[in-house]
């Protein structure tokens, strides 16, 4: 909506200025004929920048999809793209409108008109330069990984505000008695991805009907016709109300999907470790960012899916990833793929070893399980390159295979 509104605002502003500015009599006056020619030239010259914008979009999207992951749309969603497009449209509309206004009614015109057109054109070129720089950065691995991590940091800081302290979080009032009956709400629309859930609206609807709503699908999940969307206890909430509180689309977004950054980084690492690419150094860089994000979450309270009303009664629950889920998404797939590369497997070992040291005791079990698996795989596959994999005399301590 912001993209469409920006284009509309710039177009309306271009028409308004194109009609009003030629009527001003400020400053020196010049012949209208050359000014009209200049305005039309600038207008059609600026609008040609739109083709360059789309060319860069296609280039970056195709490169990112084939080199990194098809789910990476950072440059496509960057505000500089649609803001540059909207401003370029506004400059085009201004130049054409003011050219028609000057040519139709005036023999002379203020130098303010060509001056304004030149200034707007220079601003459009500056935006174009920023867009070009952003496009070049978006096809670089380091910038893409940093952009994913930066968005993940903002998302984690918004969602997980409390430190992890087992047993200190008070349980909310459970809300309506389950004996009052539970109604299952099925999804009746086409297959879509749940991008955001408007919890505030749902809490108000549940409080109004004195019931509780338990979503069974978290943001980032694809829901198709006939799937169970939620269970309502103690009352009845129509599917239309639940669907009205959802923002859906065709792909996952960063808004309420904290599992997405790990999915993107793991996809980049998996593609780099595939036999067709065989680029373990890229996988190691992805693991660096994965370790950073896991360290950011290991000490935070992840159980944030319970929402109460003003009286403290539980009204809405939303499934959210737990520590085990984050490890599965971030580590497991890459862990098995990394067995074909000693560089990637050693980096995975260091990641898990450091995470096991920093994690609270209640969260160390899953990390240690994976660390033991990696250590065993490293000793068996790379006894000479793995720490402790060979004896001082050179004989491998790993068991021999037939």
pLDDT digit string (tens) for 328-347? 999 999 999 999 999 999 99
- 277 assigned to some structural domain: yes
- 395 assigned to some structural domain: no
Q: What is this structure's pTM? A: 0.83
Q: What is the mean pLDDT of residues 167-189?
A: 70
- Reported as a single tens digit per residue, the pLDDT across 267-324 is 999 999 999 999 999 999 999 999 999 999 999 999 999 999 888 889 999 999 999 9
Number of Cα atoms under 13 Å in the Cβ half of residue 32 = 15
Rounded CA gap, 316 and 274, in Å? 42
**Structure token digits, residue 254:** 């960063």
How would residue 70 be classed by pLDDT, with cut points 50, 70 and 90? Answer: confident
- Say whether both 110 and 214 belong to one domain: no
**Structure token digits, residue 30:** 């010049």
Helix (H) or strand (E) holding 108, with range, is strand 108-110
pLDDT recorded at residue 297: 95
How would residue 391 be classed by pLDDT, with cut points 50, 70 and 90? Answer: very low
Q: How many residues does the chain have?
A: 402
- 231 assigned to some structural domain: yes
Rounded CA gap, 279 and 261, in Å? 21
Tell me the CA distances in angstroms from 363 to 1, 293, 299, 339, 352, one per residue in order.
42, 15, 9, 24, 12
Rounded CA gap, 400 and 402, in Å? 7
pLDDT recorded at residue 171: 58
- Say whether both 9 and 128 belong to one domain: yes
Question: Per-residue pLDDT for 67 more than 90?
Answer: no
- Say whether both 27 and 53 belong to one domain: yes
- Among 86, 113, 139, the domain-final residue is 139
- Say whether both 206 and 132 belong to one domain: no
Work out how many domains the chain is built from and give that number: 3
Who contacts 191 (Cβ-Cβ below 8 Å, separation ≥6)? Answer: 222, 223, 224, 225
Percent of the chain with pLDDT over 90: 58
Rounded CA gap, 148 and 59, in Å? 20
Token look-up 């296609």 returns 58
pLDDT recorded at residue 179: 56
- Say whether both 56 and 34 belong to one domain: yes
How would residue 51 be classed by pLDDT, with cut points 50, 70 and 90? Answer: confident
How would residue 173 be classed by pLDDT, with cut points 50, 70 and 90? Answer: low
pLDDT recorded at residue 169: 57
- Say whether both 347 and 284 belong to one domain: yes
Q: What is the mean pLDDT of residues 188-204?
A: 93
Question: Per-residue pLDDT for 260 more than 90?
Answer: yes
- Say whether both 354 and 288 belong to one domain: yes
- 267 assigned to some structural domain: yes
Domain range spanning residue 352?
260-305+320-381
Question: Per-residue pLDDT for 349 more than 90?
Answer: yes
- Say whether both 283 and 226 belong to one domain: no
Burial of 200 by CB count in 10 Å (0-12 exposed, 13-18 middle, 19+ buried)? Answer: exposed
How would residue 363 be classed by pLDDT, with cut points 50, 70 and 90? Answer: very high
pLDDT recorded at residue 76: 77
- 218 assigned to some structural domain: yes
pLDDT recorded at residue 394: 40
How would residue 357 be classed by pLDDT, with cut points 50, 70 and 90? Answer: very high
Q: What CATH code is carried by the domain that includes residue 230?
A: 3.90.1170.30
- 134 assigned to some structural domain: yes
- Say whether both 288 and 187 belong to one domain: no
Question: Per-residue pLDDT for 393 more than 70?
Answer: no
Q: What is the mean pLDDT of residues 122-144?
A: 89
Q: What is the mean pLDDT of residues 155-171?
A: 82
- 351 assigned to some structural domain: yes
Percent of the chain with pLDDT over 70: 92
Rounded CA gap, 155 and 334, in Å? 23
Strand partners, 223: 192
- Say whether both 91 and 16 belong to one domain: yes
Question: Per-residue pLDDT for 399 more than 50?
Answer: no
Averaged pLDDT of the chain: 87
- Say whether both 242 and 279 belong to one domain: no
pLDDT recorded at residue 24: 85
- 31 assigned to some structural domain: yes
> Which phi-psi region, left, alpha or beta, contains residue 32 (left: φ > 0; alpha: ψ -120 to 50)?
alpha
- Among 229, 249, 269, the domain-final residue is 249
pLDDT recorded at residue 220: 93
Q: What is the mean pLDDT of residues 229-241?
A: 88
Burial of 399 by CB count in 10 Å (0-12 exposed, 13-18 middle, 19+ buried)? Answer: exposed
- Among 109, 139, 169, the domain-final residue is 139
- In this predicted structure, which of 50-59, 169-178, 264-273 has the lowest mean pLDDT? 169-178
Rounded CA gap, 70 and 73, in Å? 8
Tell me the CA distances in angstroms from 142 to 46, 278, 281, 293, 376, one per residue in order.
32, 18, 12, 16, 31
- Say whether both 134 and 9 belong to one domain: yes
């Amino acid at each position: 909506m912001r993209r469409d509104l920006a284009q509309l605002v710039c177009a309306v502003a271009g028409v308004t200025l194109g009609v009003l500015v030629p009527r001003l009599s400020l400053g020196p006056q010049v012949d209208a004929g050359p000014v009209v020619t200049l305005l039309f030239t600038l207008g059609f010259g600026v609008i040609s920048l739109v083709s360059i914008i789309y060319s860069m979009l296609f280039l970056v999207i195709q490169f990112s999809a084939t080199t990194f992951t098809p789910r990476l749309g950072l440059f496509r969603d960057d505000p500089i793209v649609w803001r540059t497009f909207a401003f370029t449209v506004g400059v085009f509309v201004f130049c054409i409108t003011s050219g028609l206004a000057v040519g139709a009614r005036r023999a002379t015109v203020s130098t303010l008109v060509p001056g304004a057109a030149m200034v707007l054109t220079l601003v459009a070129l500056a935006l174009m330069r920023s867009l070009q720089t952003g496009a070049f950065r978006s096809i670089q691995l380091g910038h893409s990984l940093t952009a994913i991590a930066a968005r993940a940091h903002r998302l984690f800081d918004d969602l997980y505000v409390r430190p992890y302290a087992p047993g200190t979080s008070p349980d909310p009032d459970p809300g309506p008695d389950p004996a009052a009956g539970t109604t299952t709400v099925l999804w009746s629309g086409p297959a879509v991805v749940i991008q955001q859930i408007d919890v505030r609206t749902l809490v108000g609807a549940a409080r109004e009907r004195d019931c509780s709503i338990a979503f069974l699908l978290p943001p980032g999940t694809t829901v198709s016709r006939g799937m169970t969307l939620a269970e309502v206890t103690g009352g009845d909430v129509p599917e239309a109300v639940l669907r009205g509180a959802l923002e859906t689309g065709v792909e996952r977004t960063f808004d309420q999907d904290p599992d997405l950054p790990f999915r993107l980084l793991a996809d980049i690492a998996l593609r780099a470790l595939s036999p067709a690419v065989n680029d373990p150094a890229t996988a190691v860089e992805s693991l660096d960012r994965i370790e950073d994000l896991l360290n950011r979450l290991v000490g935070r309270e992840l159980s944030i899916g319970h929402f109460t009303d003003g009286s403290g009664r539980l009204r809405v629950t939303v499934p959210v990833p737990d520590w085990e889920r984050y490890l599965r998404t971030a580590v497991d797939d890459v862990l098995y793929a990394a067995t074909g590369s000693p560089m990637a497997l050693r980096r995975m070992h260091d990641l898990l070893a450091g995470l096991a040291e920093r994690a609270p005791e209640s969260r160390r079990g899953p990390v240690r399980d994976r660390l033991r698996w990696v250590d065993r795989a490293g000793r068996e596959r790379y006894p000479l390159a793995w720490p402790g994999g060979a004896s001082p005399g050179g004989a491998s301590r790993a068991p021999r295979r037939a």
